[in-house]
Amino acid sequence: MPYINSTEFGSITIDDKKYDQVLIIGDKVSEREYSKLKDIHKTSHQVGDWELKQLVEGKPEAIVIGTGQDGVLKVDENTKRVIKENNIEIFIEKTPDAIITYNALIKDGGKVNALIHTTC
């Protein structure tokens, strides 16, 4: 599983590689589709439907959502409902706390997917 080294406003470092905002699905780390989020939602402060679909793929034990340095990303009720309906534990925290939670879960051998927003 990828290990999150650190975060700062606008970036996250995973396995010593810097990213902007990410989805971690199993062992795969990918950048969030910022332009698609902006086109559809006019902001990156939401979880896209396609991101939710990816997050529940492979039936992880847990999903960690980092809501940004100040917690501005909003997780809507539909997202929470879909995750819970799939019997997946959900952690929604400001990004600095979310990376601590994520790293602790993977250290214990958990199967964890994550969405990490790194700005506001």
Q: Where are the domains of the chain?
A: 4-117
Nearest to 69 by CA among 7, 16, 6: 7
- Cα-flanking dihedrals φ and ψ of residue 88, to 5°? -115, 130
Cβ neighbour number for residue 60 with a 10 Å cutoff? 22
Asked whether the predicted pLDDT for residue 44 surpasses 90, the reply is no
Band of pLDDT at residue 34, cut at 50, 70 and 90: confident
DSSP label at 76?
Answer: -
CATH number for domain 4-117, candidates 3.40.1230.10, 3.40.109.10, 3.60.40.10, 3.40.50.1000:
3.40.1230.10
Place of tokens 């994520």: 102
**For 58-75, what is each residue's pLDDT tens digit?**
899 999 999 999 999 999
